């Protein structure tokens, strides 16, 4: 061996992404098969009666397997405790509400299963991550989402790409790029999917991909010797980038570059309230009005009253939206409360515990993105999931956000420090630094 040469076994270890290495105590083939099956069955999202899904049933049966793993991740146990408290809190609020309004046992069971499924699904994915590594779990999850495309209603919608194909394809391709540690593949995937989305009226989705692409490229900038990245400085820069992307995207749409339909919708929403985001998501005004009236929440089985509907309409009218069009009665309050926001849905249905879950997810989102970018170790999938998670928390329904929330949490939870630091690195996911090549 000559001077300056790294021995082959050492070189091979250094060039292998840390999160994909196998544990020293190799998992059995049965463990690895089960760890691959868990993300697939969750992502397939096969519905059963009473709001239960096949994936939820599987991960609830696997509680003895994934429960001991929670102690290896910071805040994972807190998340589970808050989830269980939310289920109990939603049932108690429903019982109290029964004295003054109609309630539904069917709705209570469906909402309870939804929250239990989120908690158990996240726990099971964390266990799978300790067996296979975060990138491989993400690949299997993406495969499950793609396999579920024919089972959903997206293929029969008027915009097949936006409602049926975009999310599964994005998750799978970005997961594969992460698994192969290819920044080039990440960037190519983002550009192609972003262009397809822009041509198919996916305005918010394209803007998220633009942000993702910018942050992927930003991580490739030359490093300054002896200077560590600052999480706070990174988050401030992220805020500036978000404002820039919003401004440029709005200008591009209003310039007619993304088609006449996108231009008309955007102009109508701006005319409604003077702001694209507020005009496009008037449900936020209804949410504020409802929670001002009852800050403790309404209950997972409570059905809206006429007063609730009128309060929501009052809030929406205050921002210039005309709520007497059937949307409020039929969609938002047709059967339960749907305010088109993960934060709002959790708070209204599960009370203060649901609000605490939303706050915890919010904190995890900023920490995962800020720390990953500061270390220049954030994959494109992690960046896209965090940007998407921030949007979903504010502007997307809980039910349609469940799958991406599970996947995000399974990647975002940070391993605790332990004596076995090598094992911590193997399961670290977004915080694992990319290996540097040594001179040969």
User: Residue 440 domain-assigned?
Assistant: no
Q: Which pLDDT score, from 0 to 100, does residue 229 have?
A: 54
pLDDT of 425 over the 50 cut: no
- 334 part of a folded domain: yes
Residue 438 falls inside a structural domain: no
Is 382 contained in some domain?
A: yes
Task: Average the pLDDT over each of 69-73, 122-126, 179-183, 277-281 and give the range with the smallest value.
Answer: 277-281
Mean pLDDT score, 83-105: 95
- Provide mean pLDDT across the span 284-291: 91
1 within a domain of the structure (yes/no): no
Within-domain flag for 40? yes
Name the more confident of 138 and 319.
138
More confident residue, 80 or 421: 80
Q: Higher model confidence: residue 410 or residue 416? A: 410
- Is the confidence at residue 29, as pLDDT, over 60? yes
Q: Is residue 439 domain-resident?
A: no
pLDDT at 252: 52
Domain of residue 31: give its range.
8-431
Instruction: Answer for the pair 380, 177: CB distance below 8 angstroms, yes or no.
Output: yes
Count of the separate structural domains present in the chain: 1
Mean pLDDT of 362-367: 90
Q: Which pLDDT band holds residue 246 (cuts at 50, 70, 90)? A: low
How confident is the model at residue 373, as a pLDDT? 81
437 lies in a domain?
no
Q: pTM to 2 decimals? A: 0.82
């Amino acid at each position: 061996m000559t001077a300056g040469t790294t021995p082959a076994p050492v070189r091979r270890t250094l060039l292998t992404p840390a999160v994909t290495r196998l544990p020293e105590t190799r998992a059995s083939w049965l463990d690895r098969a089960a760890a691959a099956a868990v993300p697939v069955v969750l992502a397939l999202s096969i519905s059963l009666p009473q709001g239960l899904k096949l994936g939820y049933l599987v991960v609830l049966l696997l509680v003895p397997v994934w429960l001991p793993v929670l102690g290896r991740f910071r805040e994972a146990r807190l998340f589970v405790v808050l989830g269980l408290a939310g289920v109990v809190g939603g049932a108690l609020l429903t019982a109290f509400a029964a004295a003054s309004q109609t309630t539904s046992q069917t709705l209570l069971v469906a909402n309870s299963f939804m929250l239990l499924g989120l908690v158990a699904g996240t726990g099971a994915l964390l266990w799978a991550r300790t067996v296979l590594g975060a990138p491989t779990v993400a690949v299997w999850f993406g495969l499950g989402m793609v396999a579920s495309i024919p089972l959903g209603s997206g293929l029969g919608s008027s915009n097949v790409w936006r409602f049926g194909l975009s999310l599964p394809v994005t998750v799978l391709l970005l997961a594969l790029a992460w698994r192969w540690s290819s920044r080039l593949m990440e960037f190519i995937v983002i550009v192609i999917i972003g262009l397809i989305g822009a041509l198919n009226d996916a305005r918010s989705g394209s803007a998220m991909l633009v942000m993702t692409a910018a942050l992927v490229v930003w991580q490739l900038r030359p490093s300054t010797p002896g200077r560590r990245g600052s999480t706070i400085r990174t988050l401030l820069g992220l805020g500036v980038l978000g404002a820039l992307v919003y401004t440029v995207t709005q200008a591009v749409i209003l310039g007619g570059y993304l088609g006449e339909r996108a231009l008309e919708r955007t102009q109508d929403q701006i005319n409604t309230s003077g702001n694209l985001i507020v005009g496009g998501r008037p449900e936020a005004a209804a949410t504020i009005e409802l929670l001002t009236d009852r800050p403790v929440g309404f209950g997972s089985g409570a059905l809206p009253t006429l007063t609730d509907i009128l309060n929501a309409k009052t809030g929406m009218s205050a921002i210039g939206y005309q709520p007497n069009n059937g949307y409020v009665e039929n969609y938002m309050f047709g059967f339960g409360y749907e305010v088109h926001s993960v934060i709002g849905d959790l708070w209204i249905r599960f009370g203060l515990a649901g609000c605490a879950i939303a706050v915890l997810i919010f904190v995890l989102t900023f920490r995962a993105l800020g720390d990953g970018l500061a270390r220049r170790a954030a994959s494109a999938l992690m960046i896209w999931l965090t940007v998407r998670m921030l949007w979903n928390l504010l502007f997307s329904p809980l039910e349609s956000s469940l799958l991406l929330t599970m996947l995000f949490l399974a990647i975002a939870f940070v391993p605790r420090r332990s004596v076995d630091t090598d094992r911590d690195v193997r399961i670290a996911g977004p915080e694992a630094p990319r290996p540097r090549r040594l001179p040969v």
